[in-house]
Structure 1
């Protein structure tokens, strides 16, 4: 009965530990878990305690960020017997980092030898991050911060306060160092401090009412804005903001404003400052008052214009601000004022007035005489249009904003335009169906540079290449008024040029590949043929002196040379057919297991001769959409390579794993491997990449190239992993056949 009761209590405690909300574990001194509960497994990112105990075989390497940290922790356990509330950062199963608090004890036997470690773990990631965030904010904030406690006399009246904490910004602002003031009272640090400051801060600490004020510190020569508040009764905190620069800047701004008004008042331009909201005239210089009278304080549209019943429709206020309501720079425009009968070149800009509001500063230059001369010149230029009307190239005249003024006859015919008035003033790019100007626009470039610009470009909307020559027409003031552009269709010429360039590139590549291949073929054919020739000469000349064993040995060598020569010729034939496009590609659904097992038969004898065992792990019933002869060639090549470079008595592994729409096949050997130089050239025509097999077997160098080209045909890929002395694993992918189409 006692035994049954004990078993019941044991089961109860086991269930209690398993379902506890905190992590619980036992582990060996060597670093393996012997028990973990569900909360710990979940905390470390495992689906169950069983999975965690199975996956984690080395706590130092898999759980600790720095494996040496566990050694230090175990030393403390062995020294003290237990460690409580130890905080550290560990790794989850997905390698993410989290923070825990641990309490662990060492369970020992009667001989004081540690049997196992037992521990409790709590996830404190959120609390740890919050502490780090607060510490960062406290140390990095730009404003000074200080925490104090108030000191009162026997009657409860504030008589001093003590420094509890200050941040680096406070030290920088005040020159007081944390090490010199923490724990000391303000009168110890600043004996001359006025009592009124202690009373003011005491009120904040004792009543909880915050206080905010600006103060000049003669000791530091600075202005401060101080915000004081009480985090709990008897304490107060102060945030100090250095506002010295702002105070001085405002004073300098007022002085600069006065200087600006003096300058504006004495220039010869018509200068006015107008409120952008109310249209009130705030300032007029002497020249403005001479032309319009002194109307400061009035609304501009009432006194500077004629016949206006509301703000002017041509007011430039909207053009002076960007989308965020900030000044957008100078806006220049020309305007005829009916009140004065004069033309003006206006330069308007939004600025901040001394009181902070946005105003329009307008400087206007009288250009009446210049405008009359421009009109006369314009009439003369228009007479030249007749000359350009009959040239065979397309000719357009545009304004700088790309609005069309004129097309000649060739242009109208090309665009199928009967009436020019229909598109006059329209943007040139809209006429051909675009929403914006071309990325390379000769007209815009001519406007930008002020020079003749020639550009060749392809216009998608028209499907043609054009040579565009844009010439800016500049007035007597150096401003571009029009751009004349001549456009010639060069589509036929460009197509011929493209074909020539492509043919040259293809020819260069073909010649390079041909030269490289001929070099490889010459080298590879010479060696086996030389061997056969030498062996045959020996047999022919020394037949009588050779023993049967020697003849047999020479025949075997000739057989190997012939075999290598035949393999080379077969690879060359396949590569040649693939390069010339004459090799058939006829994909169909094939069982991947059947394909690989069939290919294993071809390499069986070679593997048996070297005592190399071939193992495989292949999924059943998975079909791939492939050309069967090509894939057989790929698998045979890779298997022969694996056996060739394997040592006697080793194994070759071939595996296949389905991964979505593709299946990945790997061929792994434990042979001689490859260095980085050979790996980098394994898919190239390069004899330097070649290696002999473990028993002197030679290779053609074309096998891997054929594999890659065959896989490219299938939309697959091939890559490898290798390390000298440890072996090579080659991976390639094939498309999985559509099970719906090929079911049954």
Structure 2
């Protein structure tokens, strides 16, 4: 608008110059004839009227007022709109520039006088904002464009000005500044990172939480961009979604991994909304980012637990299928024996009755052992097994359990040897320790050949005792060994004397050993025998605690690891 007014002002000055030439009768020398001068005068007058009309329309539509000061005469002229702008009636119209300046604040009056002097001296126009106080006490903000007007010699002879009332704009700016100030105070007090981007997606503001979280300043953001903080695998999709939301001026939501100030990757969820000016102009986006790492990890943990639960349920189903089969066999034996005794008791000899009774006793023992292991395993799985580790003399406990299995071993001619040093004590739950030894000794006899040998040894290894049970029986191949101690791979293997089992006893041993923070592993060779190793905490006065000792550090085998030897 200023350029249009300036153009009209120059055209008006040219028209006035032509009129002045006509009045001085200088035009005869220019055009040559008076008729041409009159025609030119009429055209110029018409152009002047049109120019003034257009200028008035422009100024009225733009809500601006104009004034002019003749520096030689001091004559000051202004339009009626200027008087209304200053809150003055027509009759009180000031007749000099100084009278107008008296309505300005003292500070602004000095600024204007200094700018006027500079414009007169240099011929340069200037623009300035200032305040006035109307006679009724109301304050108004004005913006003034002052243009020096020079004569033919280049001397400034006039000052022409255009004044616009910008009170509403100034107050709007003040409201915006105050609003922005309150926003910054609230944003810096927020525990969540808050950011503001312009229409190009560049950062124009980040709050204190943002700066602390990422360890950057606003200058860093402007220089390097916010994209450098996003994980390379997430940067492309996150940036694309943000730029699409920016272009479409819609709500933005996305998650990504970002690098925190300490270099660690964290999951964030960002949400942003478009922001607009009072006039509806799009200004960019304002948003916040929330650290959701704990939530993501919790979801991953839930997913993992669900997968483990599904796997455990599947293993349970397979386990009960095996147990149902192994429970059915002893009961079927009972039914057969009872049926034979019921139907043929009169025809059976004493020897046959004794043999059937012996078979029934063996079936009953197998069934009792199976049910006992099943009950203990079930209690262990539910965490209901009592765990009370106390001092246990290892040699004494081993010999006691050998005595319990001795009669079964003698039937196959299997001989036990214990090489446990006297005085070696461990920290263990007595009931669990007896279950471990009883199951391992039973398995050793079961898979030993007639007249075989089972040897039990123990050595101290730092804060743990390594115990081994070795037989010279049939051993295991690699496939059987790799499936050992796995619930879903559990299967029954017949012993050298046709003994039956479920494999549950070894699983129970593993549960109880790991309860003591121990390990169990197996070394086996087909037709050469099997050695089962396990560790339990050493009992010593300097290591004595209310719970099992710390897991030993020098053991190369993890819990449940099996070693196969060809």
Taking structure 1 as the reference length, the TM-score comes to 0.40
How many angstroms does 1:716 deviate by?
0.8
Give distance in 2, aligned partners of 1:486 and 1:571: 58
Relative to its length, the structure with more strand (as a share) is 1
Q: Over alpha carbons, which structure has the higher Rg?
A: 2
Is 1:733 the counterpart of 2:535 in the alignment? yes
CA distance in 2, matches of 1:569, 1:459: 56
SS in 2 for 1:569: helix
Q: Establish whether residue 708 from structure 1 lines up as the match of residue 510 from structure 2.
A: yes
2:449 aligned partner: 647
| Residues 46-79 of structure 1, C-alpha deviations (whole Å, 9 max, x = no match) | xxxxxxxxxxxxxxxxxxxxxxxxxxxxxxxxxx
Match of 2:414 in 1: 612
Quote how far apart the aligned CAs of 1:573 are: 0.3
What is the aligned residue count? 337
Name which of 380, 398, 418 aligns with 1:596: 398
Partner Cα distance (2:496, 2:430) in 1: 30
Structure 1 residue 635 corresponds to structure 2 residue 434: no
Secondary structure of the residue aligned to 1:545 is coil
Q: Residues 352-391 of structure 1, C-alpha deviation per residue, up to 9 Å, x if partnerless?
A: xxxxxxxxxxxxxxxxxxxxxxxxxxxxxx99x98xx799
What corresponds to 2:312 in structure 1?
Answer: 510
Name whichever structure is richer in helix by fraction. 2
Instruction: State the 1:589 CA deviation.
Output: 2.1
Matched residues in 2 for 1:528 and 1:426: separation? Answer: 81
Q: Aligned equivalents of 1:506 and 1:588: distance in 2?
A: 33
CA distance in 2, matches of 1:446, 1:686: 43
1:677 corresponds, among 475, 479, 483, to 479
- 1:719 maps to 521
- Which residue of 634, 658, 674 corresponds with 2:460? 658
What is the CA-CA distance between 1:497 and the residue it aligns to?
3.7
CA displacement 1:26-57 (0-9 Å, x = unmatched) = xxxxxxxxxxxxxxxxxxxxxxxxxxxxxxxx
Do residues 455 (structure 1) and 255 (structure 2) align?
A: yes
Q: Aligned-pair distance for 1:581?
A: 0.1
2-structure distance, mates of 1:531, 1:687: 26
User: Is 1:405–2:190 an aligned residue pair?
Assistant: no
Structure 2 runs not aligned, ≥5 long? 1-175, 222-227, 245-252, 274-283, 546-566
Pairwise mapping of residues 313-712 of structure 1 onto structure 2 (< 5 A)?
395-397=194-196, 405-407=204-206, 425=218, 437=229, 454-457=254-257, 466-468=268-270, 486-488=288-290, 494=296, 497-498=299-300, 500-685=302-487, 689-712=491-514
Partners of 2:450 and 2:294 lie apart in 1 by 66
Aligned residue for 1:694, secondary structure, equals coil
Q: Give the alignment's Cα RMSD to 1 decimal.
A: 4.5
How far the C-alpha of 1:455 sits from its partner, in A, is 2.9
Change (3 A) 1:497 1:732: closer
Matched-pair contact (CA < 8 Å) for 1:470–1:486: yes
Any residues of structure 2 matched to 1:178-217 within 5 Å, and which? none
Conserved in 2, the CA contact under 8 Å of 1:613 and 1:652?
Answer: yes
Higher relative contact order (CA 8 A, sep 6+): 2
Q: Distance in 2 between matches of 1:598 and 1:403?
A: 80
CA shift, 1:456, in A, is 3.5
Change (3 A) 1:458 1:486: same
Cα distance, 1:729 vs structure 2: 0.8
Structure 2 SS opposite 1:639: helix
Q: Residue 346 of structure 2: SS of its match in structure 1?
A: helix
Query: Deviation of residue 439 (structure 1)?
Result: 5.2
* In structure 2, C-alpha distance between the alignment counterparts of 1:536 and 1:461, rounded to whole Å: 79
Checking the alignment, whether the CA contact within 8 Å between 1:687 and 1:701 is kept in structure 2 is no
Distance 1:423 1:666, change over 3 A: closer
CA distance in 1, matches of 2:218, 2:241: 23
Once the two structures are superposed, residues 606-636 of structure 1 have per-residue CA deviations (whole angstroms, 9 ceiling, x without a partner) of 1122211111211222221111211111111
CA distance in 1, matches of 2:295, 2:543: 49
Return the alpha-carbon distance in structure 2 between the equivalents of residues 455 and 447 of structure 1: 11
Query: Deviation of residue 502 (structure 1)?
Result: 4.6
Q: 1:741 to 1:658 in 2, by over 3 A?
A: closer
Instruction: Identify if the C-alpha distance between structure 1 residues 556 and 446 changes in structure 2 by more than 3 Å, giving closer, same or farther.
Output: closer
1:456–1:467 CA contact under 8 A, matched in 2: yes
For residue 667 of structure 1, report the CA deviation from its aligned partner. Answer: 0.8
**Is the contact between residue 673 and residue 724 of structure 1 (CA under 8 Å) also seen in structure 2?**
yes
Gap change, CA 1:613 and 1:503, over 3 Å in 2: closer
The DSSP-based 3-state class of the residue aligned with 1:544 is coil
Q: Distance in 2 between matches of 1:426 and 1:663?
A: 63
Q: Give the superposition deviation at 1:647.
A: 1.4
* Partner Cα separation in structure 1 for residue 443 and residue 197 of structure 2: 70
CA distance in 2: counterparts of 1:706 and 1:609, whole angstroms: 26
